[in-house]
Structure 1
Amino acid sequence: MIYLDNAATTMVKPDCVIKADEYALKNLCANAGRGSHAGAIKAASIVYEARKAVKSLTVCDDVIFTFNCTDALNTVLFGTAKRGGHVVTTVYEHNSTLRPLAELNKRMGVEYTAVRPNMHGIIDPADVERAIRPNTYLIAVNHASNVTGAVAPVTQIGNIARRHGVLYLVDGAQSVGYLDVDMRAIGCNYLCFSPHKGLHGTQGIGCLCVRGNPPLKPFRFGGTGSMSHTLDQPSDIPEGFECGTLPVHSAYALIAAVNHYKKLPLSVKRNLAECGDRMRAELAKIKGVKIYGKYNTLPNIVCFNIDGMNAAAVGDILSDQYDTAVRCGLHCAPLCHKYLGTLNTGAVRASLSYHNNSDEVTFFVNAVREIAK
């Protein structure tokens, strides 16, 4: 099978990640921070090393481990919410951001403004600034769209957030592992991602990176291994936000994934960019194929439609007749599809990883050409 659904989760994992996960499942199954025996201490040390790895990758001060990126985003959105407040976001956001905001509107009267891209499909920082109100307390921006791959000007937006004294959340689900993400340079307070995408890590763990000392109230409640004498949830970071058993095997695999990413040769990264750029260019030449996103996009995400065909039908043909996996539909980003005009048809997304190659791109382009005929 040719796997082109890497923006959802990468299928091919580096050997070091697989070995780390398998080793931890066999040898490190104790609860981290829940005992003083050797197994618990070893598990806690793995979690500590995983935090260090993520800190070195993102230049953050603290790391809260969550279930996934969605859980991390929810933790920030609910943990910073202000009754009757206002949030600035964009139409490119995933439902992991939009649905919590919709729920906060029902519960607490939180309003939000979704900034639309400019004529080039890029979020204009000036539009973000114009959307700020006196009661705005948070800016939440998707670093790279999971639909079109459009990259937001996160550093410029960070300058705006700092100038207005507004908290700043960056959704790094699609960017971490494909772009260098430095929280200090970006100027964000919170960064959320999952290692099972661009870092080629395993599923089962998410990362909420925090820089500075921004406000955050607990989103979930339960056992933390600390302050067990009180029924009040601790609010210290990270312990107060990591209820229940942490996936130590996923944390151990995360360490391997970060180390692997840091050692990736420039040639591997260049090959991914070349494959993505060639796929986009070749698909654009096919009569009846419409490409979404043109400027300042991640090369590994290519979104398109074929005239007169529903995206789901294209995906089914690619799977059944060409043994090729892509993502079709609305990609959990309804405002983006409303902006693109694809709410009724959905769109086809082909997303590459470091393990795809030029031959697979050629095969895929020829398949789309045949379907379009």
Structure 2
Amino acid sequence: MMADLDYYELLEVERTADDKTIKTSYRRLAMQCHPDKNPGCADSEAKFKAISEAYDCLKDPQKRAAYDRYGKAAFEQGGFGGGRGGPQGFEGFSDIFENIFGEFMGGRGGGGRQSVRRGADLRYDMEITLEEAFAGKQASITVDVAVQCDTCHGAGAKPGTSAKTCGTCGGHGKVRSQQGFFMVERACPACHGAGQVISDPCVDCHGEGRVERTKTLDVRIPAGVDEGTRIRLTGEGEAGAQGAPPGDLYIFLHIKAHELFERDGTTLFARAPISFTTAALGGAIEVPGLDRKVHEIRIPSGIQSGKQIRQRGAGMPVLNGRGHGDLVIQIDVETPTRLTAKQKELLEQFRETETGEECPQSSGFFSRLKGMFGD
């Protein structure tokens, strides 16, 4: 019979033919045996139906892959037609697709109970000081979390009893229903995807396999952490239901604002006001660092406000690495506001000796103004 022929033979193409070749051959054959061109010819009508069926399969990459491996058995009974248990033990097209692509797509292969989902991951926000971020620290945190039930050891069933295979899904954890041309697969409503039901639940966890507890955990915060750094505590999240593995706990770090330093990566920034005499004559200032050392910053004579001086290696440590960043000091020249009579007298004497060359920027500015508007 025409319907029993191989799809590739029906379309007169090789099994290695590409999509374009298959489409071209189908159109040619369809025009030749279309019922409108062959009125009353039963053979032409049968061939037209057969090549249409073949093309409908081979034009779809997923259907073609299943056909290449299993032939028409991929679409019989458990495939696109009806119940479970196809002629060769297949469980429908979705199972066949998982057989072919499961290891790449995370499928479950040839079927069976749905894998139990691990517990949920948790988030904990922790605020630390910049000094603690610099040096690192050991901290203890307290979290309320679902942990494995000690009474039933996570099984969910009363001690001495056990869960039974779900009668609705047969232990697969999934049920299927026909919706038009497609089979729709969803979690079993009776066992919620577990594949098992507990008729005699544990009195402490009520069948969940987990209970709420307050837990204290020790956390090591490494030196050099920054705002938003995430620390993962494996297996310290929510316990999974009915013995499933736990999730993880993620600690997100937040750095408190510092009264002296600002941070950009491993670089620390600070502003240092200096007297106008130090700015004019030069000198040194002492700045305490986060490393608990006093850093001497040399001030060159004639320094201006806004000038930055870099102290190598006095910044934040490199996270999980070696070395430190830099400490950058921005100079702010402060004009005195409370002068004694003697200081005013000395400044007046200094002003009388000024020639304009002492402050070339200001003298140059006023000279340009004079050039623009005249004397």
Fold in common (TM above 0.5): no
Query: What's the TM-score, normalizing by structure 2?
Result: 0.17
Larger radius of gyration between Structure 1 and Structure 2: 2
Counting helix residues as a fraction of each chain, which structure ranks higher? 1
Query: What's the TM-score, normalizing by structure 1?
Result: 0.17
Q: Which has the higher contact order (CA 8 A, sep 6+)?
A: 1
Counting strand residues as a fraction of each chain, which structure ranks higher? 2
